[in-house]
Structure 1
Amino acid sequence: MRLMTYNIEHGGSDRGSTKRLHLIASVIARAQPDLLVLEECNYFDEDEGRPLRALAEELGMRGELATVDSGYHLALLLRRDGVLRELRVFRSGFHHGALVAEVTVEGLDLTLIGTHLNPFAPEARVIEARRLAALGNGGPTALLGDLNSLSSRDRPRYEPSTWAPRYRARHLAPGDDERIDTDAIDVLEQAGFHDLFHQANPGTFAPTRPTERNSDRPSQRLDYILATEPLADRLRSASVVREGDAPRASDHLPVVADLNEGP
């Protein structure tokens, strides 16, 4: 079973052109996920949700839109034979909202949490992380999204002295312009979530940003697939997708994780 998270940058729309959305569809089709969370689904609520329906149809998947107050909507897509038992959307308490889906794929019941955390304030992300940790039901749970957060495991790879002031403000600890802030990821790991990319690739650094669309930004891993132990124990592989159209489709690269199926 393949999980995937993808920030598609302003709904794949550039000044009204949806050409980039076709590149995004190509990236997803090539990855062939069974469960997918999309962030920044701007405009997907227009025309009664037609953009998401069209994308899901092109991919041979089912789509559910989680509209949020910021306009940076979230979407869940799952393979057609998957079962969506329940979907809850949280519009308050999170900068760009959160969705919680109870799904069944290949006989496996799991809780899927999708979110897009505060891009600006480390303190706000910690509050959001604590709220996310409380959303699971104690069973197998996966948390996917653009967490806008850095991991302590990647700390040696970062040189904040080379970052522009706005990125230092976003990712250095409040009141300490030397310490890289990793508190949000730390909170989630302390709550029992495992970083699947790190678990599959210990010691490897694979930034999810920048891409060809924002090459002036620092190299950072901001997008994650986290899972509680029952799912982490099934992990087969995890990677950042760089192939095909991924470098030019969005300002983030998607992340995938493959889990062994079965009861």
Structure 2
Amino acid sequence: MIVTTINVNGVRAAVRQRCADNLGLLAWLEQTPADVVCLQETRADDSQLALALAPVLAPTVPGGWRLASAEPHLRGRSGVAVLSRTPFDAVRIGLAEFEEHGRYLEVDVSGVTVGSLYVHSGEADTERQVEKERFMATLANRMSELAADGRDAVVCGDWNIAHTEHDIKNWKGNLKKAGFLPSERQWLTELMESGWVDVVRRLHPDRPGPYSWWSWRGKAFDNDAGWRIDYHLATRPLADRVRSARVEKPTAYALRWSDHAPVTVQFGD
């Protein structure tokens, strides 16, 4: 199974972006070898998302993608989805108080549980950070349940946390900012100590990056001054079957259709 995660930064914008040059989200979905694609920050309700992706969806398109989605409770905010080449065995939306927030969607497909996740960006010392931390605690509870269940599972998406100094280019300038706070980083450490594996880092140890997000502003993309915040966290038995992991960074700034790049992981038998 090949699983990709990508924060599309607004699905309708990602579909329109450079579509005339055949380089937008729809063209990428037509070309990717992935079996499952997790989307975050769709910024669309379920009907708008289905309409935007209609040219690549089954049953309209033979062999097209199946779609499961969790729309945001606030217009133009968050929203997650999962696309699969094979039918879903089950779909579960939301987490506790965040059930309708469009930040978590879980599916069972081909014997694997796949979660599409969009963690709050947060803001240090504000109510936004308090809400982010409540969500993190709720997510940790769900991941504990998944690990205890014994199923192969991978939770992937935009975690909005850089775990270590290798995961952010300008780590010294972000020590007191949301996304690189000690408490957030420790939370990720505890998840990994509880049985979850950062499979991209497993295959790319002891090196900066590979980054998956770059600001639209300035020369961040050209200088690879990015953040690695889009993770695949897999249960250990599934992580032990990882074969490859890569960030599909565009070759040029002008070819971007999101401020994130797809992160693709291949798992073997």
TM-score scaled by structure 1? 0.79
Partner secondary structure for residue 150 of structure 1: coil
Cα distance in structure 2, aligned partners of 1:20 and 1:138? 43
Match in the other structure for 1:190: 193
Label 1:88 to 1:114 Cα distance change in 2 as closer, same or farther (>3 A): same
Q: Percent identity?
A: 21
Label 1:236 to 1:43 Cα distance change in 2 as closer, same or farther (>3 A): same
State the shift of 1:201 in Å: 1.2
Match in the other structure for 2:161: 149
Match in the other structure for 1:128: 135
Match in the other structure for 1:138: 150
Match in the other structure for 1:86: 90
Match in the other structure for 2:126: none
Match in the other structure for 1:56: 57
What are the Cα deviations for residues 172-196 of structure 1, in whole angstroms up to 9, with x where unaligned? 43xxxxx584133223213311001
Label 1:111 to 1:172 Cα distance change in 2 as closer, same or farther (>3 A): closer
Cα distance in structure 1, aligned partners of 2:37 and 2:105? 12
Cα distance in structure 1, aligned partners of 2:258 and 2:47? 21
Label 1:216 to 1:48 Cα distance change in 2 as closer, same or farther (>3 A): closer
What are the Cα deviations for residues 206-237 of structure 1, in whole angstroms up to 9, with x where unaligned? 111106x3446652111111100111011001
Amino acid at match of 1:138: G
State the shift of 1:69 in Å: 1.1
Match in the other structure for 1:170: 178
What are the Cα deviations for residues 47-106 of structure 1, in whole angstroms up to 9, with x where unaligned? 583223334357832112211213421111011xx23111011163376421111111xx
List runs of 5+ in structure 2 lacking aligned partners: 124-128
Cα distance in structure 1, aligned partners of 2:49 and 2:242? 37
Label 1:148 to 1:54 Cα distance change in 2 as closer, same or farther (>3 A): same
Instruction: Quote the RMSD (CA, aligned, Å).
Output: 3.0
Match in the other structure for 1:3: 3
Amino acid at match of 1:18: R
What are the Cα deviations for residues 15-54 of structure 1, in whole angstroms up to 9, with x where unaligned? xx82456612233333321011101112353458322333
Match in the other structure for 1:176: none
Cα distance in structure 1, aligned partners of 2:94 and 2:236? 24
Match in the other structure for 2:261: 253
Is the CA contact (8 Å cut-off) linking 2:167 and 2:211 kept in structure 1?
A: no
Cα distance in structure 1, aligned partners of 2:179 and 2:81? 26
Cα distance in structure 2, aligned partners of 1:85 and 1:210? 35
Is the CA contact (8 Å cut-off) linking 2:163 and 2:180 kept in structure 1?
A: no
Label 1:48 to 1:8 Cα distance change in 2 as closer, same or farther (>3 A): closer
Cα distance in structure 1, aligned partners of 2:138 and 2:183? 22
Q: Which runs of structure 2 are paired with 1:201-220 in the superposition (5 Å)? A: 201-204=204-207, 205-210=209-214, 213-215=216-218, 219-220=226-227
Cα distance in structure 2, aligned partners of 1:220 and 1:196? 17
Label 1:28 to 1:243 Cα distance change in 2 as closer, same or farther (>3 A): farther
Is the CA contact (8 Å cut-off) linking 2:113 and 2:152 kept in structure 1?
A: yes
Amino acid at match of 2:108: E
State the number of aligned residues: 243
State the shift of 1:156 in Å: 8.0
State the shift of 1:114 in Å: 1.1
Cα distance in structure 1, aligned partners of 2:32 and 2:229? 19
